[in-house]
């Protein structure tokens, strides 16, 4: 009965300069269903959402709403056509009341009819079972309730299609349940909901159908109850399970034999649950899991990049306190950040200046590195890492992604760390450079440097790591080594054991 088509996207194409973001993507949303849109990072989920909400214009393809062919020109236009979006970051004003937030920007008269808005808002909040009062200041509500108010606003605007973009990422379990019951309620009222999330369990809990995208292409649409978790993971990562099973090249790899270099017990930060972790000298290990599983957050906690809440940390058996990146650096830990644009390079400074940055910070600002010294360092590492740059004085911003990454690597190598954390060092760089970086990691390990390596490409991790720590939904769910180090096992562990 619920097969009535609400929204139909066919053959969507979208390219950005140099990248094809979406190619021949189909998506169908029926009345009264919750449809999860899944895919790894770069799969094209956000591009598709932005086309639906009018932020981007598609290059080719067709969108039909209830059988009518439409063009969506702007976010405002999307709202008028009944497509509302609730983003991960709440786009409401915390300093206004709940009722004001629900009606601002769409009232017709120039007088603010506070009483009228409050009465109407209270009715809607009550009918949706949202635990908020209309005259309450929005900032005094919990994040979950704020998100629900945003949904209530969308519902009141007669939305037919509701897009929830990562709505649960900042909510706790109880709040997630509240949100889910609201979603089910809306579903029974005939609203079509597109649910974007990285949390697999939530998808299975609440969604009816799943559409998977990979590398900007449509992989398939499945009924949630007919698609086992492990299959879903395989589809997202682009490996058929059978193929995976045959691929079990259990290349024996020894776990590092050196003494334990770094050991953490019950370490937790504002972004992670407590976890235990240790690494030996000359060992390469890795954190794996889907995006949002907490793999980056864990290493950020090790480096002190997020606020550390608890945990005992020992280096070479001696207890140390690492609460800030500088503490970690002084203890010989280097960290190559996941997002090199945001956390890593300073694009307007030259290659040389970027390379000496970490060393300079460690030395303190009263012991400047002389010009000739820094030039020597820069030349050494440009040669050693084969960085392709016009000269050491070229601004880093003008180099290619792979070479920028090498500059940051050089920066950390220059501090001669005992323990190097590489978070997605190979993302968005060409295959040749990827191999160079992998080789470099193995070479470092031979020189007794411990390395933690994170990558969304499992093959890459299997090639470099001797031990893999598997995470799901912010918990460590398994540790693989030796014969277990193969794709199939990794997928199974990520998906939750049962296959």
Partner 1 sequence: MKFFKNKRKEPLTDTQLLMTITICIFVAMYLLAMLLLQGGFLHAQQIFDLLNDNASLIIVSCGLTIVMIGGGIDISVGAVTSLVTMSSILYLNGGGNVFMSVLLSLGIGLAFGLVHGFLISYLEIQPFIVTLAGMFFARGMTTILSVNPQKIDNEAFNAVRESKIEIPWLGYVAKNGNLVPARMELGVVIALVCVALVFVLLKFLKPGRNLYAMGGNQTSALMLGINVKRTRFMSYIISGFLSGISGFVLMLHTGAGNATNAAGMEMNAIASSIIGGTLLTGGVGNVIGTFFGTLTLTTIKKIVVSSGLKDPWWQSITTGGMLCFFILLQSIVLSRRNKK
Would you say 76 or 310 has its CB closer to partner 1? 76
Decide if residue 316 touches partner 1 (CB under 8 A). no
Q: How far is CA 102 from the centre of its chain?
A: 30
Check binding of 273 to partner 1 (CB under 8 A).
Answer: no
Contact range with partner 1 by CB under 8 A, out of 61-69, 87-95, 402-410, 418-426: 87-95
Residue 309 found at the interface with partner 1 (CB under 8 A): no
DSSP H helical segments within 247-350, as ranges? 295-303, 325-330
Among 61, 75, 401, 428, binds partner 1 (CB under 8 A): 75
C-alpha span between 227 and 447 (Å, rounded) = 46
User: C-alpha distances in angstroms, 325 versus 192, 328, 346, 421, 452?
Assistant: 45, 5, 17, 12, 16
Task: CB nearer to partner 1: give 140 or 310.
Answer: 140
Q: Which residue, 165 or 436, has its beta carbon nearer to partner 1?
A: 165
Taking a C-beta distance cutoff of 8 angstroms, is the pair 245, 273 a contact? no
Return the range that interacts with partner 1 (CB under 8 A); candidates 91-99, 177-185, 376-384, 456-464: 91-99
Sheet strands (E) in 169-283? 192-196, 209-214, 217-223, 260-269, 275-280
Q: Rounded to the nearest 5°, which phi and psi values hold at 413?
A: -60, -35
How far apart are CB 72 and partner 1 at their closest, in Å?
Answer: 16
Residue 170 pairs in a beta bridge with none
C-alpha closest to that of 218 among 447, 343, 47, 69: 47
Task: Report 95-154 residues binding partner 1 (CB under 8 A).
Answer: 95-97, 100-101, 104-107, 109-112, 114, 133, 135-137, 139-140
Q: For partner 1, give the closer residue by CB, 157 or 435.
A: 157
Task: Name the minimum Å distance from CB 112 to partner 1.
Answer: 5
From residue 203 to residue 232, the character string flagging contacts with partner 1 as x (rule: CB under 8 A) and all else as - is ------------------------------
How far, rounded to the nearest angstrom, does the alpha carbon of residue 39 sit from its chain's CA centroid? Answer: 11
Interface residue with partner 1, options 4, 10, 71, 94 (CB under 8 A)? 94
Contact flag: residue 398 with partner 1 (CB under 8 A): no
> CB under 8 A: which stretch of 59-67, 84-92, 218-226, 441-449 binds partner 1?
84-92
Residues 57, 62, 71, 91: which binds partner 1 (CB under 8 A)?
91
Size of the site for partner 1 (CB under 8 A): 28
What does the angle CA 362 – CA 383 – CA 283 come to, to the nearest 5 degrees?
A: 60
- What is the nearest approach in angstroms of partner 1 to the Cβ of residue 142? 10
Torsion of CA 460, 463, 468, 474, to 10 degrees: 0
CB of 176 to partner 1, least distance (A): 21
Residue 51 has phi, psi (to 5 degrees) of -70, -40
CA pair distance 359, 382, nearest whole angstrom: 16
Chosen residue from 48, 92, 461, 468 binding partner 1 by CB under 8 A = 92
Residue 72 Cα distances to 8, 105, 438, angstroms? 13, 20, 44
Instruction: State which of residues 29, 38, 90, 408 lies at the interface with partner 1 (CB under 8 A).
Output: 90
Binding-site ranges for partner 1 (CB under 8 A) = 75-76, 79, 90-97, 100-101, 104-107, 109-112, 114, 133, 135-137, 139-140
């Amino acid at each position: 009965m619920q097969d009535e088509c609400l929204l139909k996207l066919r053959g969507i194409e979208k390219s950005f300069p140099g990248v094809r973001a979406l190619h021949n993507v189909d998506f169908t949303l029926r009345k009264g269903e919750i449809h999860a849109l899944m895919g790894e990072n770069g799969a094209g989920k956000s591009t598709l959402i932005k086309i639906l909400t009018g932020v981007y214009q598609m290059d080719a393809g067709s969108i039909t709403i209830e059988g009518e062919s439409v063009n969506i020109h702007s976010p405002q236009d999307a709202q008028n056509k009944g497509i509302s979006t609730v983003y991960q970051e709440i786009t409401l004003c915390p300093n206004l009341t709940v009722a004001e937030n629900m009606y601002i920007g769409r009232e017709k008269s120039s007088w603010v009819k506070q009483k009228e808005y409050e009465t109407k808002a209270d009715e809607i909040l009550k009918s949706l079972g949202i635990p908020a009062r209309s005259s309450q200041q929005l900032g005094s509500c919990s994040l979950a309730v704020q998100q629900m108010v945003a949904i209530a606003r969308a519902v009141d605007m007669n939305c037919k299609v509701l897009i929830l973009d990562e709505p649960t990422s900042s909510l706790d379990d109880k709040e997630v349940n509240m949100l889910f019951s609201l979603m089910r309620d809306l579903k029974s009222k005939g609203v079509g909901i597109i649910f974007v999330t990285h949390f697999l369990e939530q998808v299975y809990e609440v969604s009816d159908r799943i559409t998977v995208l990979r590398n900007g292409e449509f992989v398939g649409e499945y009924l949630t109850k007919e698609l086992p978790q492990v299959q879903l993971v395989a589809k997202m990562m682009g490996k058929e399970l059978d193929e995976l099973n045959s691929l079990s090249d259990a290349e024996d790899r020894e776990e590092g034999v050196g003494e334990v270099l770094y050991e953490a017990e019950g370490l937790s930060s504002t972004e992670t649950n407590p976890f235990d972790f240790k690494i030996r000298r000359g060992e390469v290990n890795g954190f794996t899991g889907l995006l949002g599983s907490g793999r980056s957050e864990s290493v950020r906690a090790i480096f002190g990049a997020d606020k550390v809440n608890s945990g005992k940390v020992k280096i070479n058996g001696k207890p140390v306190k690492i609460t800030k990146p500088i503490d970690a650096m002084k203890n010989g830990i280097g960290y190559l950040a996941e997002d090199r644009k945001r956390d890593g390079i300073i694009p307007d400074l030259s290659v040389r200046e970027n390379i000496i940055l970490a060393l300079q910070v460690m030395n303190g600002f009263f012991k400047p590195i002389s010009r000739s010294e820094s030039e020597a360092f820069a030349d050494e590492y440009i040669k050693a890492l084969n960085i392709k740059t016009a000269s050491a004085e070229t601004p880093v911003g003008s180099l290619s992604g792979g070479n920028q990454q090498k500059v940051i690597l050089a920066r950390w190598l220059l501090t001669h760390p005992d323990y190097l954390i590489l978070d997605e060092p190979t993302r968005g760089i060409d295959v040749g450079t990827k191999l160079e970086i992998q080789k470099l990691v193995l070479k470092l390990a031979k020189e007794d440097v411990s390395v933690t390596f994170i990558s969304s490409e499992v093959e890459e991790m299997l090639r470099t790591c001797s031990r893999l720590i598997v995470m799901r939904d912010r918990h460590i769910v398994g540790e693989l080594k030796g014969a277990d180090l193969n794709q199939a096992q990794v997928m199974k562990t990520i998906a939750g054991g049962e296959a």
